[in-house]
Amino acid sequence: MSKRVNEKENSDSSLHLADFEKYLDKLEKLVGALESGELSLDDGLKNFEEGVALYKNCKSLLGSAEKKISVLTSELKEEDFI
């Protein structure tokens, strides 16, 4: 039964990772468009607003990953590193 739970956690984690990569890719494209200087003020503002939302999503996913890593490393015994 615990194996099923671990498999579900792993699939959930990979979904989050896929979301992170997708958000980061979109954020990089938005930044590129903003840096080009070719957007109208209205389009630039829309891109900036979307970029802020994507940044928050990425930050949240990274925070979740950090917490998971912290839990996993705290469960390890010192002898596991030798």
**Is residue 80 assigned to a domain?**
no
* 51 or 75: which leads in pLDDT: 51
Which residues span the domain enclosing 46?
A: 2-72
Mean pLDDT of 3-19: 53
**Is residue 18 assigned to a domain?**
yes
Q: Which two tokens stand for residue 44?
A: 């630039």
| Terminal C-alpha separation, the chain | 30
Which pLDDT belongs to residue 5? 40
**Is residue 39 assigned to a domain?**
yes
* 1 or 43: which leads in pLDDT: 43
Which of 2-11, 27-36, 64-73 bottoms out in mean pLDDT, i.e. has the lowest? Answer: 2-11
CA dihedral 8, 57, 65, 1 (to 10 degrees): -10
User: What is the number of structural domains in the chain?
Assistant: 1
Residue 25 belongs to a domain with what CATH number? 1.10.287
Which pLDDT belongs to residue 27? 96
Q: Is residue 21's pLDDT more than 60?
A: yes
